[in-house]
C-alpha cells in the first residue's frame, strides 16, 4: 500500500489474501474475484461520467454490491454518500440533495421506497439484476460491460481528497452531514483494529476471524468493517437483509467468530438464541451506540458472548473502547461495559459549564470533549451547528462523562437525556441498567418530567414481557439504593408501561419520541 487511499486496501488484500472468502447472502466470492469485479465496475463508472469529486449516493443493505462500490468509487475519485434507508423518505431526499448526489445506486429490495425515490432522482442505477426503466442501468450489467483494467485516475487520488459523506440520525432535527477524506476515514477505521489488537478484550480481532458486520454500512461505514476486514485479510460474511434467526444460522454455517451490533441487536440475537434453546453462542462482539445495560451484559456473558464497547459517532468516528478483561464477577462486568480507553492519538477531556477542563479524579462529571487527527472540520453546509459543536480542533460530544487517574473514562449519559433535579444530576442510564436486570423487563428508558419544585424529576418507561407491576420495579430500585448503586432521590416518581419502544434509525431507543408522547 503506497498511498493512504481506500482502494489501495483492496489491492493489497487481493495481493496478500486473494483466496480469503467473502460471502454475501448465498453467494461466495474471494478477495481476488471481488477485486476483478471492482476494477470492471470502476472502468464502467468512468464512462458514466463518474469521476474525481462526483458525489454518488448508495442505498443498500450490507452486501457485496455495497462493499464493491466503496472501492470502485474510491478508484475513480468519487465521493460516496452512504444513504440511511431508515430515515423518513423526506429526510432521505434531504440528505441526497444536501450532499449534492449526482448519481444514486438503489437496491430494488427496498420496493416502493426505492421506486418512489427513483422518480425524484436525476440519475440512478438499480442494484439488482434487472433495470426497472429504460433510462436507468442495472448494477450487474455495468460490471459485465466494464473492462478489466484499473482506471488511470486511480493513481492520482490523494489521501486528502474527500472520500465519504454520511449523516447523523436526525433525532433532534434535520440530519447533519459529515465529510471525511480518505486519510481520515482510514485512520478512524484502522485505529479500531489496532486498539482491539493492543488489549486482550472480548472483541479482540485478528486475521483468523470470520467477521459478520451487523452495523449497517450507512452508519459510519459499518464502523469501518469494510476497511478493517481487507486490511486484516479476514473472511467476511455480509448478511444482507436477514434477521436474528438467519444471523444465528450464518454464525453456525460460516463459523463466524466476530460481529458488531448495537445493544438492541444484541438483545434480539440473545432472544432468538433462547427461542432456539441455544445454550452457548461463542462470539466476539463490538457493541456501542447506546449504553449496554448490566442485565443485557449478564445475559450475553451467560451465553458465551464476549464483548467490548466502542465510543464514538458520525461526528467523530471511533474514539475509545473498553479494555477491562471479561469475568463472571459482576464488578468486572460493570467495569467492562463502562470504562473506556482512548485510542492512541485521540485526546479526551471533560469540561465544566465554564469550559474549564475538570481533573481526572474519577468523580467530577462534565461534558466530554474529543480531539483526534480524523476529526472532521464540521457539519456539511451548516456553519451554525458547526460553530456550536466544533471548537478549536475539539468536538463537543454532548455527553456527560467522568475521567479517571489511569486515563480511562466512563460516559454517564447524554446531556440532553440526563435529568437535573434540585441542581443535581440524575443519570437515567444508571436507572435503566438497574431496571434491565429485573426478569420480564425487555427495555427501559428514563426521561425527565418537568417539576415545579425540583425543576425535573425522572419517569421510567418500561417495555415488559409477562406480568410486571410498578411495585415489583420499585422493590428492585429500592434494593439498588440499599446496595449503594442508586441515590434515593434518583428513584423515578412515575413508572409507565409501554407495548414497544420507539426506535431511531441507528437502533437506539428514541427518547425524543417518548418525551413528545407524554
Q: Does domain 6-182 have CATH number 3.30.43.10?
A: no
Helix (H) or strand (E) run with residue 398 in it: strand 394-403
Does this chain's domain 6-182 share its CATH topology with 186-414?
yes
pLDDT of residue 328: 46
Question: Measured over all CA atoms, what is the biggest interatomic distance in the chain, rounded to whole angstroms?
Answer: 72
Low-confidence ranges of the chain (pLDDT < 70): 1, 129-134, 171-172, 324-337, 518
Domain ranges of the chain: 6-182, 186-414, 419-516
Grid cell of 264 as nine digits: 438492541
Helix axes 6-16, 31-47, angle to 10 degrees: 140
Rounded Cα distance between 301 and 283, Å, is 10
Classified by CATH at the fold level, domain 186-414 comes out as Rossmann fold (3.40.50)
* Residue 55: closest CA among 137, 149, 133, 165: 165
Alpha helix (H) ranges present in 106-213? 112-119, 139-145, 182-198
Q: Give the pLDDT score at 424.
A: 81
What strands, in cross-sheet order, belong to the sheet with 441-451? 441-451, 455-464, 494-498
pLDDT in tens, 278-293: 989 999 999 998 878 8
**What CATH class has 419-516?**
alpha beta
Q: What is the pLDDT of residue 417?
A: 82
Q: Which residues contact 434 (CB under 8 A, 6 or more apart)?
A: 294, 476, 477, 480, 485, 486
Which tens digit of pLDDT belongs to each residue from 430-484?
A: 898 899 889 999 999 999 998 888 889 999 999 998 889 999 999 999 999 998 8
Amino acid at each position: 500500500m503506497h498511498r493512504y487511499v481506500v482502494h489501495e486496501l483492496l489491492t493489497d488484500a487481493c495481493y496478500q489474501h486473494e483466496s480469503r472468502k467473502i460471502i454475501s447472502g448465498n453467494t461466495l466470492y474471494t478477495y481476488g474475484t471481488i477485486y476483478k469485479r471492482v476494477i470492471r465496475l470502476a472502468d464502467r463508472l468512468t464512462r458514466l461520467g463518474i469521476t474525481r469529486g462526483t458525489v454518488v449516493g448508495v442505498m443498500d443493505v450490507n452486501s457485496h454490491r455495497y462493499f464493491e462500490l466503496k472501492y470502485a468509487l474510491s478508484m475513480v475519485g468519487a465521493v460516496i454518500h452512504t444513504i440511511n434507508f431508515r430515515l423518513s423518505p423526506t429526510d432521505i431526499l434531504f440528505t441526497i440533495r444536501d450532499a449534492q448526489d449526482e448519481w444514486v445506486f438503489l437496491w430494488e429490495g427496498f420496493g416502493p421506497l426505492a421506486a418512489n425515490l427513483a422518480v425524484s432522482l436525476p440519475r440512478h442505477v438499480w442494484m439488482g439484476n434487472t433495470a426497472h426503466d429504460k433510462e436507468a442501468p442495472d448494477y450487474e450489467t455495468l460490471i459485465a460491460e466494464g473492462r478489466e483494467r484499473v482506471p488511470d485516475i486511480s493513481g492520482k487520488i490523494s489521501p486528502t481528497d474527500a472520500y465519504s459523506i454520511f449523516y447523523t440520525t436526525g433525532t433532534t432535527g434535520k440530519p447533519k452531514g459529515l465529510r471525511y477524506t480518505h486519510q481520515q476515514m482510514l485512520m478512524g477505521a484502522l485505529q479500531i483494529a489496532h486498539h482491539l489488537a493492543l488489549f486482550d478484550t472480548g472483541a479482540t480481532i485478528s486475521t483468523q476471524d470470520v467477521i459478520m458486520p451487523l452495523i449497517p454500512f450507512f452508519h459510519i461505514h459499518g464502523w469501518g468493517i469494510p476497511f478493517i476486514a481487507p486490511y486484516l485479510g479476514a473472511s467476511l460474511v455480509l448478511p444482507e437483509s436477514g434477521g436474528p434467526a438467519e444471523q444465528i444460522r450464518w454464525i453456525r454455517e460460516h463459523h463466524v467468530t466476530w460481529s458488531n451490533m448495537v445493544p438492541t441487536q444484541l438483545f434480539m440475537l440473545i432472544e432468538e438464541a433462547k427461542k432456539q434453546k441455544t445454550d452457548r453462542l461463542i462470539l466476539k462482539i463490538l457493541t456501542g451506540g447506546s449504553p449496554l445495560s448490566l442485565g443485557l451484559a449478564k445475559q450475553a456473558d451467560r451465553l458465551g458472548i464476549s464483548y467490548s464497547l466502542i465510543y464514538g459517532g458520525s461526528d467523530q468516528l471511533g474514539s475509545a473502547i473498553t479494555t477491562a478483561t471479561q469475568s463472571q464477577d459482576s464488578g468486572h462486568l460493570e467495569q467492562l461495559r463502562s470504562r473506556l480507553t482512548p485510542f492512541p492519538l485521540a485526546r479526551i477531556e471533560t469540561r465544566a459549564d465554564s469550559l474549564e477542563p475538570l481533573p481526572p479524579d474519577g468523580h467530577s462529571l462534565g461534558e466530554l470533549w474529543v480531539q483526534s487527527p480524523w476529526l472532521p472540520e464540521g457539519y456539511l453546509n451548516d456553519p451554525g451547528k458547526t460553530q456550536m459543536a466544533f471548537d478549536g480542533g475539539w468536538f463537543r460530544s454532548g455527553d456527560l462523562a467522568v475521567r479517571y487517574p489511569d486515563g480511562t473514562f466512563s460516559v454517564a449519559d447524554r446531556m440532553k437525556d440526563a435529568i437535573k433535579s434540585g441542581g443535581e444530576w440524575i443519570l437515567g442510564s444508571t436507572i435503566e441498567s438497574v431496571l434491565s436486570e429485573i426478569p420480564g423487563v425487555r427495555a427501559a428508558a428514563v426521561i425527565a418530567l418537568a417539576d415545579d419544585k425540583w425543576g425535573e424529576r425522572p419517569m421510567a418507561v418500561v417495555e415488559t414481557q409477562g406480568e410486571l407491576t410498578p411495585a415489583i420495579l420499585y422493590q428492585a430500585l429500592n434494593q439498588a439504593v440499599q446496595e449503594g448503586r442508586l441515590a434515593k432521590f434518583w428513584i423515578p416518581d412515575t413508572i409507565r408501561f409501554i407495548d414497544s419502544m420507539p426506535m431511531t434509525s441507528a437502533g437506539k431507543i428514541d427518547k425524543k419520541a417518548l418525551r413528545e408522547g407524554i
